[in-house]
Amino acid sequence: MKLNSSLVWLRRDLRVFDHAALSQALQNSALVHCVFIYDSTILAGLPRRDRRVDFIHASIAEVAQELRQLGGHLIVRHADPATEIPALAAELGVDAVYCNHDYEPQAIARDDAVGRALQADGRRFFSCKDQVVFEKSEVLSQTGGVFSVYTPYKNAWLKKLEADPSVLAPWQVEPYAAHLAPPPPGDAALPTLAELGFEPSNLAELKIPTGMSGAAALFEDFLPRLAGYKQARDFPAVKGPSYLSMHLRFGTLSVRHLVRTVLDLTARGAGGEGAAVWLAELIWREFYAMILFHNPHVVGGAYKPAYDAIQWETGPEADELFATWCEGRTGYPLVDAAMAQLNRTGYMHNRLRMVSACFLIKDLGIDWRRGEAYFALHLNDFDLASNNGGWQWASSSGCDAQPYFRIFNPVTQSEKFDSEGKFIRRYLPALKDLGDKEIHAPWLVPRMLPLDYPEPIVMHDEARKRTLERYAVVKKI
């Protein structure tokens, strides 16, 4: 197939290397235009200072610069892509539009609408696999069923990769760059944040690396720490994670490159125990993407529908409890420090995501969907599949979730994973003078003067009993 011209629609794949849609368009077309659309239907619901918009804005500037160096250019619009993509395709007179798959229900509906509009105009629509190694129904059980438990999925994923390592081959762009459409005369400048209706966030202050170069730098920084990842990943005061989740979310790096690198290090005996554990985390990401694709009802409902029968706390008192959790005023230092980290930086350590979610659900009795929505608004790396999967895991309503009777004790979690209180002191300066043992449960510390820190809003042992009663409706599942 050879097309006269095509349009590549960038979405959550903000890079110009190892890019499936761009590579395939360049190989199959004489001329290729590229576009990114700031989706007005999404941006309208965001706060005016949003780190994610800031991140995208900086990353798009780097994409535009890289395309220009290759001889092409990037068209940038602020509109509803469902109507703008067909309109732009008509304006450019292209034969086809290329993009990479998105697995979220709303995105699938949007892409279906775009595809129908393009077909009505006599144009073609091609969608490619790019943000995961294996997608949709590529990893199935031996009986052809969809997995609902992670470990057998992971084993089947690894077996499939071993059988066909070619899936990790990079999608080349530079060898075909001559097919990029050159910049038009008077090529328009990229829109500013202000023109998009936004203000600068604290992204720069937090020194969060952006774009392809930022992703590459973070990965290079992580590789020397990869071998120790298994031990370091659970401790929020330690530099253990890769910090690549935001880059994976927006596609400023290639997951194929990550997996190739890890497997190469493992083959050379340089990955240590951490390499397999980190690869398993990447597979979790694909597991949740697969679950969302096959079970779109998890958006707004429990993976196990029977769990929707649970009666959560409601009314003004529940609203106050929820606000207290959001603001990090629960009286449990590890939970409050975690929420402070999220509110100030847009990042939360994975161990703390589990602890804070479990506290909201099983100590406060608040519907997991309220916490899921709060994380969705504040997380820099918000991904619907992973965020939903994590919250359903914590609430015991999801696939392969923790048992309903497994209820994290926020004090023992603090003592185990922040034993010296380093993380707590970083985000809760009011507790900085407490000892390493005292800091995990400051209400137990006798004081001559009141501590500028709230008392616990619930007592864990009592809350645990209420949770077991609340979950009695599903205990036979």
Residues whose CB falls within 8 Å of the CB of residue 333, separated by 6 or more in sequence, listed in order: 414, 421, 424, 428, 431, 439, 440, 441, 442, 453
> What is the 3-class SS of 309-376, one letter each residue?
HCCCCCCHHHHHHHHHHHCCCCCCHHHHHHHHHHHHHCCCCHHHHHHHHHHHHHHCCCCHHHHHHHHH
**Do the beta carbons of residue 27 and residue 175 sit within 8 Å?**
no
Catalytic site residue from 135, 138, 202, 312: 312
> For residue 61, what are the CA distances in angstroms to 58, 199, 208?
5, 16, 16
Could you confirm whether 393 is annotated as catalytic? no
Told to judge if 281 belongs to the known catalytic residues of this protein, a careful annotator would answer yes
Contacts of 254 (CB under 8 A, 6+ apart): 15, 17, 18, 19, 170
Active site residue 343: no
Q: Which of 278, 284, 325, 393 is catalytic?
A: 284
- The amino acid at 344: R
Which residue is catalytic, options 9, 368, 380, 388? 368
Sign of the C-alpha dihedral, residues 310, 315, 320, 323?
A: positive
Q: 429: which 2 tokens?
A: 């300066």
Q: Of 391, 376, 219, 194, which Cα lies nearest the Cα of 291?
A: 391
Q: Hey, what amino acid is at 69? A: Q
Candidates 350, 409, 415, 438; catalytic one: 350
How many whole angstroms separate alpha carbon 96 and alpha carbon 244? 33
Q: Is 368 a catalytic residue?
A: yes
Catalytic positions? 281, 284, 312, 350, 368, 391
